Chain A
Amino acid sequence: MKFRRYFGEHLFPPLLGAALFLLVWMILAQSSDALPGPMKTLDSAIALFSDPFYQKTPNDQGIGWNILNSLGRVGVGFGLAALIGIPLGFIVGRIQFIDKMTSPIISMLRPVSPLAWLPIGLLVFKAANPAAIWVIFISSIWPMIINTAMGVRQLPQDYMNVARVLNLSEWKIFTKILFPATLPYMLTGIRLAIGTAWLVIVAAEMLTGGVGIGFWVWDEWNNLNVEHIIIAIFVVGIVGLLLEMLLVRIAKRFSY
């Protein structure tokens, strides 16, 4: 009985959703000669993942290398953004003057599509790879600044009163009150940032080339290998989902 209830409430709905999704895909594939169906895609995926780390030429490498290269770019761009964005967020949140100084600039630059920054990156760095990292950096820095600053601003007055009556030093206030109180907001910023970064890397790599999941999609489009494009979509989705789950897990650990 217990299993039946668990199955009915938690397993059945997503399974039904997946089945319907595959059904619609199959019907669409049947009525079109260009779109491969689920079985054909699965066959192709099995072949692809049986040798994920081959290296034939610089432009023809296994799917594993493509994913790792993309993750590496996201990691570097994102890491640099965190390194600069989070301290900046603390400063913006803590000092009203700087908040007022920077907020119009941030509000104006934030909605700009990250890809619009790519030419600037190419111009400055004169190479494709740093330009792609630059795009990741610029797209993930805004949520980190904004959310960290918000966390600092929403610090409960009670905690500051505690700091004042205990006469804590600035360092203690930062490590014992400001940082832990802001941490959940910071993690929200990081989550939003990594989501955007992973979203943007595919598009950026399509434009810059090199080894990476985005360029791989573009390459397979040129080869008219539609199965591989569909596989790439799934891979991008699953990796994005895993990144998100990892960060939710970390965020849960630090919520009070």
Chain B
Amino acid sequence: MKNYVHIENAQMSFETRKGVFVALKDVSLNIARGEFISLIGHSGCGKSTLLNLVAGLLMPTEGVLLCADREIGGPGPDRGVVFQNHSLLPWLTCFENVHLAVERVFSASEDKAQLEIRTRNALALVHLTHAEDKYPHEISGGMKQRVGIARALSMQPKVLLMDEPFGALDALTRAQLQDELMKIVAKTNSTVIMVTHDVDEAVLLSDRVVMMTNGPAATIGEILEVNLPRPRNRLELAGDVEYMRLRSEVLRFLYERHAHPAAA
């Protein structure tokens, strides 16, 4: 399916005290099934807004968004969301946090034992079987984010939406989780839309990097195809000519053509 996620002329404006603020304008994008898309841009360019539109947390003021040929009318379990600050419920264990999502989606069709197996499988996928009875405050930031990913994937969503999932982590943990994410995506054949401000992350993980212009009225500036073969290895790619070219393409877009207004 070529148009698994279909965004057509989406516009998003907010009513503010100073009048109408147009965050996004004329955004059109087609995403194929199994594709990994990064949205990159300076802060305030509306990339999170675009992600929230796909998630259904926001409704566009104009335009249409479709997921698997159905109009996105609100949040739904067919789109799993990983939040930047993990957003686990602190009074539930890792197991219970994931189980809450599993229960919602599958309790109509499966029995209790099956739901528990699903939850365990999701935690095993992110290598957290040993921490399933721990509370979020008892585990590290990287582990929390992995539970967040497990929770999103446990619903078997059509699309996985990630809002700067590794932004709050240190560089080493981030690299480790990126590698894990690549493996998980390869194994589950997920369709992913990820918001990031990290150029290396975008190039390393994506099939296409969607570069956004600065707001207000931000839109898609350029789309970069990343045709590096998979599985990708960050060490091998570090000296790869094609990787370097792609990386500098993104950098040039961000810092030459669309430098941040505050920095310019």
Chain A residues engaging chain B, CB cutoff 8 angstroms: 158-159, 161-162, 164-169, 172, 176-177, 180-181, 256
Q: Contact partner of A256 among B76, B101, B137, CB < 8 A? A: B137
Q: A158-B83, A162-B83, A168-B100 are in contact. List 18 more A-B contacts (CB 8 A).
A: A158-B85, A161-B81, A161-B83, A164-B56, A164-B57, A164-B75, A165-B79, A165-B81, A166-B101, A166-B155, A167-B76, A167-B104, A169-B104, A172-B104, A176-B89, A177-B89, A181-B91, A256-B91
Closest to B78 in A: A167
Q: Contact partner of A159 among B74, B77, B87, B155, CB < 8 A? A: B87
Determine how close the nearest CB of chain B comes to the CB of A80; give it in whole angstroms. Answer: 28
Q: A167 near B100 (CB under 8 angstroms)?
A: no
Determine how close the nearest CB of chain B comes to the CB of A174; give it in whole angstroms. Answer: 13
CA distance A172 to B57 in the complex (A): 19
Known pairs A158-B87, A180-B89; A165 contacts B55 (CB<8 A): yes
Q: A168 near B104 (CB under 8 angstroms)?
A: yes
Indicate the size class of the contact surface on chain B.
Answer: 20 to 34
Q: Does B90 contact A (CB under 8 A)?
A: yes
CA distance A161 to B79 in the complex (A): 13
CA distance A168 to B79 in the complex (A): 14
CA distance A159 to B92 in the complex (A): 12
Beta-carbon contacts of B126-163 to A below 8 Å, as 1s and 0s?
A: 00000000000100000000000000000100000000
Q: B89 near A159 (CB under 8 angstroms)?
A: yes
CA distance A154 to B35 in the complex (A): 38
Determine how close the nearest CB of chain B comes to the CB of A12; give it in whole angstroms. Answer: 35
Closest to B77 in A: A167
CB-defined contacts of B104 to chain A, threshold 8 Å: 166-169, 172
Q: B91 near A165 (CB under 8 angstroms)?
A: no
Determine how close the nearest CB of chain B comes to the CB of A48; give it in whole angstroms. Answer: 46
Chain B residues engaging chain A, CB cutoff 8 angstroms: 55-57, 74-77, 79-81, 83, 85, 87, 89-92, 100-101, 104, 137, 155
Q: B87 near A162 (CB under 8 angstroms)?
A: yes
Q: Contact partner of A180 among B80, B91, B137, CB < 8 A? A: B91
CA distance A168 to B76 in the complex (A): 10
Question: Most chain-B Cβ atoms within 10 A of its Cβ — which of A159, A165, A181?
Answer: A165
CB-defined contacts of A256 to chain B, threshold 8 Å: 90-91, 137
Determine how close the nearest CB of chain A comes to the CB of B149; give it in whole angstroms. Answer: 14
The 16 listed contacts between A and B (C-beta, < 8 Å) are A158-B83, A161-B83, A162-B87, A162-B89, A165-B56, A165-B79, A166-B100, A167-B76, A168-B100, A168-B104, A169-B104, A172-B100, A176-B92, A177-B89, A181-B91, A256-B137
Q: Contact partner of B100 among A161, A176, A180, CB < 8 A? A: A176
CA distance A167 to B104 in the complex (A): 7
Closest to A164 in B: B75
Q: A166 near B77 (CB under 8 angstroms)?
A: yes
Determine how close the nearest CB of chain A comes to the CB of B59; give it in whole angstroms. Answer: 12
CB-defined contacts of A169 to chain B, threshold 8 Å: 104
Closest to B90 in A: A256
Question: Most chain-B Cβ atoms within 10 A of its Cβ — which of A158, A167, A168?
Answer: A167
CB-defined contacts of B155 to chain A, threshold 8 Å: 166
CB-defined contacts of A181 to chain B, threshold 8 Å: 91
CB-defined contacts of A162 to chain B, threshold 8 Å: 83, 87, 89
CB-defined contacts of B75 to chain A, threshold 8 Å: 164-165, 167
CB-defined contacts of B137 to chain A, threshold 8 Å: 256
CB-defined contacts of B79 to chain A, threshold 8 Å: 165
Closest to A158 in B: B87
CA distance A166 to B75 in the complex (A): 8
CA distance A180 to B100 in the complex (A): 15
Q: B57 near A161 (CB under 8 angstroms)?
A: yes
Determine how close the nearest CB of chain A comes to the CB of B81; give it in whole angstroms. Answer: 4
Q: Contact partner of A165 among B57, B85, B90, CB < 8 A? A: B57
Determine how close the nearest CB of chain A comes to the CB of B139; give it in whole angstroms. Answer: 14
CA distance A165 to B75 in the complex (A): 5
| 3 A-B pairs with least C-beta separation | A256-B90, A180-B91, A165-B81
Determine how close the nearest CB of chain B comes to the CB of A166; give it in whole angstroms. Answer: 5
